[in-house]
Every structure is written in structure tokens, then in C-alpha cells.
Amino acid sequence: SSGINAEYGPAQHLQTGEIPPGTFQGLQAPPADFMQPAQVQPQPVAEQPQQCPAVDMSTMQTRIAMSCQSEKYKNNWSELVAMYDIPPRHLLYDVERNYVWVTVPKIASSNMKRLIIKSKFGFASDNPEMRIAMEEPHVFLKKCCLITKEVASEYFTLQRAFTFTFIRNPWTRLYSAFWDKIVSFKSFDDYYHIRKILFIAREWSWEEVRHDDKVKLAAETITFSEFLTMLAKTDAENYNDHWKPWFLLTQPCMIHYNYIGYLEDFENSFNFVHEKVFSDLQVNIEPKYTNSSTTSEVIAAYRAVPQALLDSVYSKYEDDFKIGGYSKDIDCIGKELTLTG
């Protein structure tokens, strides 16, 4: 096979992905306790000051272990189940190149899939099939490359591949999801989420939310604060995947990642993955893919939200903030991350 061909085991260093050879030699089956949280002894980590730079990568694995051992998961069965419910629709596995990419909606998901399609299939830009693939990369890759439910259930086998994902500031991810799925695509899921916002945030009756014409008219007036109110009053494990917490989608208590890249530093993050699994291919990132859009408009939207509501929403994504080293401070949105490690 081309690209990376070494077997990978549980990550020793998230940044380098260098795994000692022979990790799985002679190992025939997963250990009896493989469904338990990653057995990484958490070390005391000094509380990060409210500043913009992210934590260095060397602390990320420790923070994951601390989140996995949190009492809030041990004492809440529904959240515990959600934490170990690996969603196969987000596991993209390339057998030939021996990698697993755990995709997360609104974190370079579509853009990265387009790059993989170009590299994997080599269609000419004027090829009709290529145009379809570029318009619907999720649908196209689902036909060829997603891990089946049966394979996904074999958790231990995933550790034999180079496994990676990306992380993003939850504040910018939520705003992107709101704009993409609530403002721009109001027919998303047959207005289900618009109806849910109206029911929860505006306290519409069941009769009102079933009235299609009223819902479509009201959809034009949904505010960002109302979207956040819906999140604050809904259990995170029941969120749509486009705004479900990164921690619940990536399952870091189950999956040991060899690399976790930052969307805010996507050019370098992609280059690292490219070197690991696409080093034989000439694949360049188009300029519009190298950074996420984080403008003053995003900051202004959050400043209009009551602090109590922000605190409530933050609590839903606290693991994401802590693991990625992101600040709760709204003024840090869009600032360059200082990445070390």
C-alpha cells in the first residue's frame, strides 16, 4: 500500500504520532477492560489564565484523561452511553493508506473531504463525477470510505491505523453551525431545529410548531441568542451532530489519537497529516481552506448574548474548551493561537 504502512497503537505523543514498533505484536484480542476510559494517569495541570493562546499539545492527552474520569460521566448514565457510542458515520477509514480520520461537522469536514476525494480518485477538474463529488463530498465518501458499523464496533482494530482528528474553538464552531444550518439552510432537517427553537426559546405550543407556514415565517427572525437558548435547555447528547460537543463526537476516551490538529492552524495541521498519509501525493490546500472565518461579526453576536446564557452554553462544551486550551473569553475569538509542543 502507499503512504503510511506501519501499524499504530495507542498514542504516546499526540503531536508526533511516533509509536514504538511491535506495540501489537502477538496481540490477538482486545483486553477485557477495553471499554474503560483511557488509562492515562492524570497529572495536575495548572489552570489556564483567560488568555487567547491554546495550551501546548503535550498537555492535551492529560486533559482528555481527566475529562474521561470526570464524576459527571460516572454518575450520569445517558452521558456515559453517549461518550462511548462511536458514530460510524464520522469514521473515515482508508485501508490502503492505513489511516482513520474521525470527522467532526463544522471543523474542516467538507473541505478536508474534498481534498481526500481529489487525492484518492484523481478526477480531472472537468469530470462530471468530480463536480458531483465536490458539491456533496459527504455523500460521495459515504459510498466508498466510511467505516461500517461492524468495523466501528471493533474498537481495538482502529488502533492499528494512524488515527487523527481536528479541534476548533467551540464559540466559532457554534456560530458557524448557526449561520450554516439555521440562517442559510432553514429547510435543514425539514425545519425540525427551527421548530425546536421556537418551542423552547419562544415557548410556542405544540399546535403552533406544527403549523408549517407560521414556522417558515418565523424562521426568518430566529436570533443567535435563541439558538443558544435551545442548546442550553437541551441535553448535549441529544444535539444534532453539527453542534454536538467535539468530546462526544470524537470519543477520545475510546479512541487513542495519534494526532489532533487545530482548525485555527489548519495549514500546519493538514501538512502534518499529509506527511503521514499522503506524502507521495502533491496535494495543496486552496487559500480559502487555510483558516476559519472569525470576524468582528462573530464577536458582536456573542456580545449581544446575556452572560448567564453564555455560561450555560459554556458548561455544555467545557471539555472541548479545556482539552483544546481555548479561552472562555469572547474577546479571544479569532486571535492567532500560539501552538507549541
| Tens of pLDDT, residues 63-91 | 888 888 877 665 554 555 555 555 567 77
| Tens of pLDDT, residues 135-144 | 777 677 766 6
DSSP run (H or E) holding 280: none
Query: How many Cβ atoms from other residues are within 10 Å of residue 186's Cβ?
Result: 16
Cα 77 from Cα 14, distance rounded (Å): 29
Q: In what order do the strands lie in the sheet with 91-94?
A: 91-94, 99-102, 162-167, 259-262
Grid-cell match 463536480, residue found:
131
Cα 73 from Cα 83, distance rounded (Å): 8
Task: Return the percentage of the chain with pLDDT > 70, whole number.
Answer: 63
Query: Residue 240 pLDDT > 80, yes or no?
Result: yes
Confidence of residue 152 (pLDDT cuts 50, 70, 90): low
* Three cell numbers, residue 255: 479512541
At 279, is the secondary structure helix, strand, or coil? coil
Query: Residue 147 pLDDT > 80, yes or no?
Result: no
For 208, what's the count of Cα atoms within 13 Å in the CB-facing half-sphere? 13
Mean pLDDT score across all residues of the chain: 73
Query: Residue 167 pLDDT > 90, yes or no?
Result: yes
Task: Note the pLDDT of residue 176.
Answer: 92
Cα 191 from Cα 242, distance rounded (Å): 15
Query: How many Cβ atoms from other residues are within 10 Å of residue 123's Cβ?
Result: 16
DSSP string, 77-135: HHHHHHHT---GGGEEEETTTTEEEE--TTSSHHHHHHHHHHHHH---TT-HHHHHHHH
Q: What mean pLDDT comes out for the span 113-120? A: 72
Where residue 334 falls (left for φ over 0; alpha for ψ -120 to 50; beta otherwise) is left
At 272, is the secondary structure helix, strand, or coil? helix
* Residue 249 and residue 329 in contact, taking contact as beta carbons nearer than 8 Å: no
Please name the residue ranges forming H helices in the chain.
60-68, 71-74, 77-83, 109-121, 128-135, 137-144, 149-153, 155-158, 170-177, 192-201, 206-209, 212-219, 224-232, 246-250, 266-277, 296-303, 307-316, 318-324
Query: Residue 99 pLDDT > 60, yes or no?
Result: yes
Burial of 155 (0-12, 13-18, 19+ CB in 10 A): middle
Confidence of residue 12 (pLDDT cuts 50, 70, 90): very low
* Three cell numbers, residue 88: 460510524
User: Using alpha carbons only, how large is the chain's radius of gyration in Å?
Assistant: 20
